[in-house]
Structure 1
Amino acid sequence: MATEKLTKSYLHVPRKEPFIGMSVGQQLYQMAHKYADKEMYVFYVDKERITFKQMKDQSQKFASSLIAKGYKKGDTIAVWGANHSEWLVALFATMQLGMLLVPLRLEFPEATIVALLNKLKCKGLILTRSPSNILDRVYEIFPELKDTTTDGFHSERFPGMEFFIISGTVPEQLSLRKCVYSYDEFMTFGSEADMENVNKICMSIDMDEPCSVVFTSGSTGMPKATAISSHALLNDRKNIGFRLEEESLQYDLESARFGEAITFSGGAGYIGLIAPLTVGLTTVVLFPEFNAETMAKALQDERVTMGFFFIHHIHDLLNLPNLSDYDFSSLDIVNIGGSVIPFEMRRKLENICKYVVPSYGMTEVMLTHLSHPNDPEEKLKAGALYPIGGTETKILNDNGFIVPVNTIGELHIRTYSAFLYYVDEEKKTREMKDGNGWIHSGDLGVMDEDGYIQICGRKKDLIIKQALNLAPAELEKRLYQHPRVQAAVVIGLPDSRVGEEICACLRVDKENAPSEEEIRQFCNGKVHELLVPKYILFVDEIPTSGSGKFSRQKLTEMAMEKFPIV
């Protein structure tokens, strides 16, 4: 909490912990020496356990094969598929060589895949062992692979593409192609000399160089490729769990077992990937693809102590009919991101874990604001968050001036974990990050006199009705209080009379579904009168974007198909 009461919406929270001053590859070498035989990753469904030393050795081997095949610093290759160990081996291999691994999301349509592979000049594509249809999708994008030839890969659409690495069994028709390798085969190409070069290259990489590319959600268009440095990535993930610098809550992170539920290809997925490198904990990868029952089993069987989850993971977990059959006694900390967690859901979650830690972040800055278990009750109930050490926060009005406390405006952040740039997007980089290093989040927030932030939604998601700006979050918080509403997203639909009308998109208890009128009565008098929804769209599932967040764009398309817009 700020030492003095604030009058304007600006706060800098000093950082007490020293920074990690290494590249990711260098940090991997150091941690593999320190924690050699300790489990670094556990892949629960795949029944794989990988120690720190094994990950270093495997990724070095993969990197030596890349060198043997002529690939070098600055080259890019892509990975596509679900959460498996080969994904991580490839990631750490490229980080040791100063190459960039492009993480393609399974949700990306063909046109997006084609555009991104060419934009980032990818020379190769690695396929993980699942999902089962991944190779069929590759054939659609690269029909040239079906040619019965033993030659390399040649494509007018992909002039820079040279090779494919397939985890698992390679189909016979591809096994003769000089451009296609099985994952196991590729691991054998490097020599001892190549291995020595891996070490030399790794030790020469600067901590401020780009080490990874993560895509924005792309909810309003083509996703942007966000370049992140080792310094930003390592030091952001060192803050895993909660505001660690506060002495009021001590926690042994070195002994922690972190539950990873987010897809590796999303920026939030990097929390569990990089956390072992920063504090020496073990990450338990719960599944290749989300399943609440598997999640519950993994949390129990692997004695997971902490984890980062999205709200739909928690909802489905809490609504398992046999939830009480599982032993969650090891679960200390659950970090929630992606959207505001309703206070009622938070209280239910506290029945199976000790501390619930809502958080705020975005691809361009990673994790910057967190709740804390010892925050005042009124802050917790309001969903208020506090900046992590080393972060500056300010709230600006539309004219670019800092607003008084308790006034809504756009959240701006300046932090050590900020992204470097959008690849080949100079104009968009300048729009997001100004000359003074401030990130323009596009999120609306309110800062109170103690420096706590409440996120009110996206600036672009504001609904303008009768010339008033209405924040969807206000109605969403109320809807989540309804006992039979399981998920809620509020959108605006065009209306010729009032500008935009309110539409509540709801997933509800199917066996005891509330009526539309019951929902409206539940909102009357509890939210701004203009927020009471005219339209209510009941859905079986709330669609999500590639990053795992609820997709307002998809919901808007669904609602406009159903309702007669006037």
Structure 2
Amino acid sequence: MFSFVKHQITRQIFRMSQLKSSEKYLHKRCRATAVINPELSYRFYPGQLPIVDMTIGQLVDTAVEQWPNRECLVSTHQNIRMTYLEVVNRADKLAAGLKKLGLKRGDRVGVWGPNDFEWLLAFIAITRAGLIMVGINPAYQQNELNYCLEKVATSAIIAPTKFRRQEYGIMSLNAMEKCPSLKHIILWSDDHIKGAHRLKDVESLASRVEVEAIAASQNEISPNDGCNIQFTSGTTGYPKAPLLSHKSFVNNGRQTGYRCGLPNDHHKVCMNVPLFHAFGMIHGFVAGFHSGSTLVLESPVFNPKNSIDAIAREKCTVAYGTPTMWVNMIDIQERLQAPIESIRLGTTGGAYVTPMLMKKIRKVMNIDRISIVYGLTESTAMIFQTIPGVNQELNDTTVGRLHDHVEAMASEVVDENEQPVPFGTPGELWARGYCTMIGYWNDPENTLKTINKDGWLKTGDKFVLHANGYGEVVGRLKDMIIRGGENIFPKELESFFETHPDVLEAHVFGVHDDVYGEEICACIRLRENKKITAEEMCNYAKGKIAHYKLPRYIQFVNEFPKTTSGKIQKFMLRQQMESQGIVPIQKN
């Protein structure tokens, strides 16, 4: 397994060394016509901030040197406040404890839980120990957890004992039966559970000398080593595991924070977004450590009232959120009229953002600068972002300008050859640069489908790139639903619904929603003489799939529109459902 990672890292280094200039690239793409066409949609900006060779651990050390006694983390729901020095001291104890358990460099360690301070502590410890952190969605059910842990041969998992209705401790222990590599369950709890370690006990395992050795060994970790695996899904609907490097994490956070304006002052950031997502990891944690920000965890999972309360009480100057989160915060603030005059900067992304929402954020939340970001897990995180000072129309109608040190173009297939399209013309967005993933873990076939031989990452998004470097997402080539910032793939849900004994066929797609951007609609054909209600079908799914994947609409049909070749025409299904005024399920 390690040889695969080493091979992928070597490929990435080679790709980076082979990056072409704009002129050479355009000449290659246009050699069929022997004309260099400056109108073709390609952009690259070298930028003011150079790319740095640095690991997460070295970034943490740099932050502690600059701001040792500044508050690094405030967890309002846990009543915990920690300085930068306190965070790294505890993280190094945990890192030494993980090594004491027998974990070795390159081993994968899952972190599964809500936005508690232990989540951030675990991530720092894992990366400073030379291990690879595996982010796991806190909404996952048992089968989803098992799949992820087994997919990347996870050696340990760090989680709370339970959260809401999820018995994380029991589920983690159950996962050991399906994942033979899983040897250690580490729980942030005061309770003793047979077969599991308590987090605080692991922090106490190592001697003082072993703890001090963690800081002394940071230069032994390469910036090109993998530091994080975040699960995503491809067109097949089955989760894939992009491996991201220290270098891509550190630099993407640096570029993002710089463009957002974080280094200009000491900011207190209301996180809102989950830490296991790229948004929270990069724009929250990494950009925060570059700028000395104080990260405020206002709630274990997003709660709009808690967010408004935290902004007012902690006098937060920055807030992040998906469009859905901002809609909900606006609704609460219009009713509460809380004193949130301190907030100056905001960021949104992860789903389509309307100009009207941007105007409401400015008006209701009293924010002068609200920026939009665009990216994907395979590109570490952000590759387009608003530039400060740009006119409001450009700010509100695009996903921002291309990040520095990243190449981008919009491409299309013409006569079986992929070619860049002119500026302002829709095409598939391709990107290339330091932030491209190392590869999908143990999946060279899908890696080669996503990253071509020249190092271009095919995003699967239909995109318009303008000559000024700004871009617009106009559609998705991949059959994917984005509901409130969560990526949902129809095939996974179709396969699940077809496990019901009364279901003959199921097809899932997204329909427009004013709050979430898209909602899930499932059209189901039942077996002959079978009857079931939408509510019963929804109840069948509860506890078996994550809550955010539950359809808002379930419709029963007798047949599906098809092409002459027998393929289902989902766009016609969508049109039919929306024209009929589909009724949402009354969930219990």
Contact 1:61 1:195 in 2 (8 A): yes
Residue matched to 2:170: 139
Residue matched to 1:94: 126
Q: Which moved more, 1:209-218 or 1:370-379?
A: 370-379
* Aligned counterpart for 1:240 among listed residues 231, 235, 256: 256
Residue matched to 2:303: 291
- Determine if the alignment matches structure 1 residue 70 to structure 2 residue 102: yes
Change (3 A) 1:272 1:133: same
Query: Which letter maps to 1:413?
Result: A
Residue matched to 1:149: none
Residue matched to 1:355: 369
User: Displacement of 1:158 after TM fit?
Assistant: 3.0
1:62-120 deviation line (CA, Å, top 9, x unaligned): 11112222222122222211111111111111111211122211222322211221222
Contact 1:216 1:225 in 2 (8 A): yes
SS at match of 1:66: helix
Change (3 A) 1:181 1:532: closer
Residue matched to 2:471: 453
Change (3 A) 1:378 1:268: closer
Q: Which moved more, 1:308-317 or 1:494-503?
A: 494-503
Unaligned stretches of 5+ in structure 2? 1-21, 23-36, 482-510, 524-559
User: Displacement of 1:343 after TM fit?
Assistant: 0.7
Matches within 5 A, 1:365-444: 365=379, 366-383=381-398, 385-398=400-413, 399-444=417-462
Query: Which letter maps to 1:359?
Result: V
Q: Distance in 2 between matches of 1:490 and 1:71?
A: 42
Query: Which letter maps to 1:229?
Result: S
Contact 1:64 1:195 in 2 (8 A): yes
Residue matched to 1:255: 266
Contact 2:323 2:516 in 1 (8 A): no
SS at match of 1:327: coil
1:454-513 deviation line (CA, Å, top 9, x unaligned): 1112112499xxxxxxxxxxxxxx978xxxx44442889752479344567xxxxxxxxx
Query: Which letter maps to 1:355?
Result: R
SS at match of 1:243: helix
Residue matched to 1:19: 51
Query: Which letter maps to 1:238?
Result: R
Contact 1:491 1:502 in 2 (8 A): no
Q: Which moved more, 1:110-119 or 1:251-260?
A: 251-260
Query: Which letter maps to 1:278?
Result: H
Q: Distance in 2 between matches of 1:362 and 1:355?
A: 23
Residue matched to 1:190: 206
- Determine if the alignment matches structure 1 residue 364 to structure 2 residue 378: yes
Matches within 5 A, 1:128-527: 128=160, 130-134=162-166, 136-140=167-171, 142-143=173-174, 156-171=177-192, 174=193, 177=194, 179-216=195-232, 221-240=237-256, 243=259, 252-270=263-281, 271-320=283-332, 322-351=334-363, 352=365, 353-365=367-379, 366-383=381-398, 385-398=400-413, 399-461=417-479, 485-489=514-518, 494-496=560-562, 499-501=569-571
Residue matched to 2:4: none
1:431-476 deviation line (CA, Å, top 9, x unaligned): 111222211000001123333211112112499xxxxxxxxxxxxx
Change (3 A) 1:417 1:462: closer
Matches within 5 A, 1:534-553: 534-539=579-584
Residue matched to 1:50: 82
Unaligned stretches of 5+ in structure 1? 145-154, 245-249, 464-477, 505-529, 543-566
**TM-score normalized by structure 1?**
0.77
Q: Distance in 2 between matches of 1:490 and 1:168?
A: 36
Contact 1:253 1:280 in 2 (8 A): no
1:318-342 deviation line (CA, Å, top 9, x unaligned): 1126545212211111111111211
Residue matched to 1:41: 73
User: Displacement of 1:129 after TM fit?
Assistant: 5.7
Change (3 A) 1:129 1:44: farther
Contact 2:159 2:169 in 1 (8 A): no
Query: Which letter maps to 1:42?
Result: V
Contact 2:115 2:275 in 1 (8 A): yes
User: Displacement of 1:133 after TM fit?
Assistant: 3.5
1:515-566 deviation line (CA, Å, top 9, x unaligned): xxxxxxxxxxxxxxx8994243354799xxxxxxxxxxxxxxxxxxxxxxxx
Q: Distance in 2 between matches of 1:100 and 1:533?
A: 44
Q: Distance in 2 between matches of 1:140 and 1:532?
A: 38
Q: Distance in 2 between matches of 1:77 and 1:532?
A: 43
User: Displacement of 1:403 after TM fit?
Assistant: 0.7
Change (3 A) 1:297 1:160: same
SS at match of 1:320: helix
SS at match of 1:350: helix
Matches within 5 A, 1:549-564: none
Contact 1:215 1:267 in 2 (8 A): no
Q: Distance in 2 between matches of 1:360 and 1:541?
A: 34
Change (3 A) 1:219 1:109: farther
- Determine if the alignment matches structure 1 residue 7 to structure 2 residue 73: no
Q: Distance in 1 between matches of 2:107 and 2:402?
A: 36
Q: Distance in 2 between matches of 1:226 and 1:51?
A: 32
Contact 1:39 1:282 in 2 (8 A): yes
% identity of equivalent residues: 21
Contact 2:351 2:517 in 1 (8 A): no
Query: Which letter maps to 2:191?
Result: V
Residue matched to 2:17: none
SS at match of 2:181: coil
Contact 1:209 1:230 in 2 (8 A): yes
Contact 1:243 1:389 in 2 (8 A): no
Q: Distance in 2 between matches of 1:372 and 1:109?
A: 40
Contact 1:212 1:229 in 2 (8 A): yes
